[in-house]
Structure 1
Amino acid sequence: MTTDSIPVIDFSPFINGDTAARAAVAQQMRQASSAWGFFYLSGCGMPADQLAEAFAASKAFFALPDDDKQAIAWQNAESNRGYVGVRRERLDDSKPGDLKEAFNLAPEQPGGPRNLWPAALPTFQPEMEHFMAACIATADRVLEAFALALEQPDDFFVTAHNRHHHTLRLLHYPPLPEGYTPQDGENRAGAHTDYGSITLLFQDDAGGLEVRTRAGEWLAATPIPGTVVVNTGDLMHRWTNHVFCSTPHRVNVPPQAQHRDRFSIAFFCHPNKDAEIACIDTCASADNPARYAPISAGDHLLQRLNATY
């Protein structure tokens, strides 16, 4: 744990260790989530071959002709599935549209929205479903550690997420054309906070992710092989009464990478839509009383999505 760079935490003692080892890792995660809202997690148990398969499938999808991608375009916040073209999303509403394209999918629920699959890639669906299952398993372990860190029952957060109302998002940041100068404030992804409880972010080696420090400075979250970036989102910020922080971050266009592709995969972990997000008892005190009225996780997500597109 350091104070001048985003912490790197070895998660393997939480998965394989005894009670004391698990408690020590949970405490590191609490410190990182309080001070930074971001940390790198190594030893999380995510198979490297599954991650490589998911990145290969993502690259194949974004290489499809635009007509194929637009045929399964994102339609509305209620389903929040499908293809999002370059500049369609504006994460910072004071800036131009983001220089990225994306594809959203989610674990399917009986009677719920269905994922949109590209007809030209017959193996894409099983590859993505396989990867989502691995992300759910990793996210549940992280949530279990958070519960321990906040002196809650081990299944406190996992139970509140057990309907898997998550979103998996494939992201592609195309190269900028030769001689192109970004417009005023234009970025690959504008400054924003994430909407849900936690995010698992898998990066390639292109770089560009930046995290805003408490002092207001932007710090590069340089890719570290073998790690996943974990950050706490707005609902965790609210749930924990600001004990865990939801930190602004963005994807910049570093000069050395503006003429190459950047790929990343984000797994947005979101509570069950009917889960009530109310201040956790161990996160309130006389000096830090509850700051927010309870809200359902689903209402919060719809408010944020409708403001973004």
Structure 2
Amino acid sequence: MVTIPIIDLTAFTNGDTITRRNIIKQIYQTCHEIGFMYLQNPGISKDLIRQVFAHSKSFFNLPLEVKQKQAWSDEFNNTGYVGLERERLDPNKPGDLKEAFNVNKQAAITIDASILAFYDNCTELANTVLQAYALALELPEDFFIIRHNQQNHTLRSLHYPPLQTPPKPGQVRAGEHSDYGSITLLFQDDVGGLEVQTASGNWIAAPAIPDTVVVNTGDLMQRWTNDMFCSTKHRVMIPSNNKVKQSRYSIAFFCHPNDDTEIACLESCQKEQPPIYPPILAGEYLLSRLQATYGNS
């Protein structure tokens, strides 16, 4: 039975040489085998996380016409409100039963002090994870950090409303997909529904574990590492119990390299097989993925 490992981040940030080496090895194995992990002691205050969830709930509680005034307009900006069923993460299925609100660093500055603080905290946490990834891949420890220093990250609040009517055939809360960037940090409530696909094709639950952050690898990291690190498919299903009558909230921090970073196969990832993917600029890849996600809805 595959389980998503729980990794104590303080063992990496504060551990001695042997402890750090063991954690780096564990992170490598996790990224290689499943692409998802829970990070314990992520270094973001619970109070700040609570504030951001409260801010998110108050926004989604607004009337639709108010939310639509801040509607997502295009994939170049990729900020604003995304309404129910607007997004189709699995192109073969109906639109997702969720609404979302995207902010970048500039938008975070204008919205609320807690949102900006959270964005900065997530950036710092992501940099620590990227440092561990670099060491796991035999790279200089700042290799990924300097290629993410323009902070092109997207902070996304998500709301999966209670179901009032039966879903369309095949419709779920978030369709099967992989994330587009390098890594994602995910904060979720305890309603549940997130599922992760294992290498054998089975789906396993990834419930909320108190005081942890879910971290998963995205497509660009998979390309960079020549499939050594896997960008795992995941989805959010509709609960089969009474929780179907509850809202589910989550917050994702999509960590993306600088737009002009060339994502080309790393030397340390060519030992087992020649490069699989042609080089691509990070910004071009993100645009192509966003166009595919929104283009047909």
TM-score scaled by length of structure 1: 0.93
Structure 2 residue 207 is the aligned partner of structure 1 residue 209: no
Deviation at 1:237, TM superposition (A): 0.3
Between the aligned partners of 1:45 and 1:249, the Cα distance in structure 2 is 25
Greater CA drift, 212-221 or 271-280: 212-221
Is 2:155–2:252's contact at 8 Å kept on the other side of the alignment? yes
Deviation at 1:116, TM superposition (A): 10
Between the aligned partners of 2:162 and 2:17, the Cα distance in structure 1 is 48
Q: 1:183 aligns with which of 154, 164, 168?
A: 168
1:95-114 equivalent positions in 2, closer than 5 A: 95-108=93-106
Is 1:105–1:116's contact at 8 Å kept on the other side of the alignment? no
Q: 1:144 aligns with which of 131, 148, 153?
A: 131
Between the aligned partners of 1:254 and 1:65, the Cα distance in structure 2 is 25
Q: 1:26 aligns with which of 16, 24, 27?
A: 24
2:39 match: secondary structure: strand
Count the aligned residue pairs: 293
2:179 match: secondary structure: coil
Deviation at 1:230, TM superposition (A): 0.4
State the Cα deviation string for residues 93-120 of structure 1 (Å, max 9, x = none). Answer: 1000000000000112xxxxx5696xxx
2:105 match: secondary structure: coil
Greater CA drift, 181-190 or 78-87: 181-190
Is 1:81–1:115's contact at 8 Å kept on the other side of the alignment? no
Structure 2 residue 281 is the aligned partner of structure 1 residue 302: no
Deviation at 1:71, TM superposition (A): 0.3
Between the aligned partners of 2:102 and 2:213, the Cα distance in structure 1 is 19
Structure 2 residue 229 is the aligned partner of structure 1 residue 244: yes
Aligned to 1:174: 161
Between the aligned partners of 1:69 and 1:23, the Cα distance in structure 2 is 47
Aligned to 1:231: 216
TM-score scaled by length of structure 2: 0.96
Structure 2 residue 263 is the aligned partner of structure 1 residue 277: yes
1:255 match: secondary structure: coil
Letter in 1 for 2:167: P
Deviation at 1:16, TM superposition (A): 1.1
**Relative to structure 1, is the Cα distance of residues 116 and 307 closer, same or farther in structure 2, using a 3 angstrom cutoff?**
farther
Greater CA drift, 90-99 or 6-15: 6-15
Q: 1:80 aligns with which of 78, 81, 93?
A: 78
2:245 match: secondary structure: coil
Identity of aligned residues (%): 54
Between the aligned partners of 1:22 and 1:99, the Cα distance in structure 2 is 41
Aligned to 2:249: 263
Structure 2 residue 179 is the aligned partner of structure 1 residue 197: no
Q: 1:91 aligns with which of 82, 89, 92?
A: 89
Between the aligned partners of 1:304 and 1:248, the Cα distance in structure 2 is 15
Deviation at 1:50, TM superposition (A): 0.9
Displacement over 2 Å in runs of 4+: 114-117
Between the aligned partners of 1:246 and 1:104, the Cα distance in structure 2 is 22
Aligned to 1:158: 145
**Relative to structure 1, is the Cα distance of residues 129 and 246 closer, same or farther in structure 2, using a 3 angstrom cutoff?**
same
State the Cα deviation string for residues 166-190 of structure 1 (Å, max 9, x = none). Answer: 000000000001xx32211100000
Is 2:2–2:198's contact at 8 Å kept on the other side of the alignment? no
Is 1:42–1:226's contact at 8 Å kept on the other side of the alignment? yes
Between the aligned partners of 1:160 and 1:225, the Cα distance in structure 2 is 31
Deviation at 1:20, TM superposition (A): 2.1
Between the aligned partners of 2:181 and 2:92, the Cα distance in structure 1 is 22
CA RMSD in angstroms, aligned pairs only = 1.2
Between the aligned partners of 1:185 and 1:8, the Cα distance in structure 2 is 32
For structure 2, the residue ranges without an aligned partner over 5 or more in a row are none
State the Cα deviation string for residues 124-155 of structure 1 (Å, max 9, x = none). Answer: 52221111011001000000000111111110
Letter in 2 for 1:80: N
Is 2:108–2:116's contact at 8 Å kept on the other side of the alignment? no
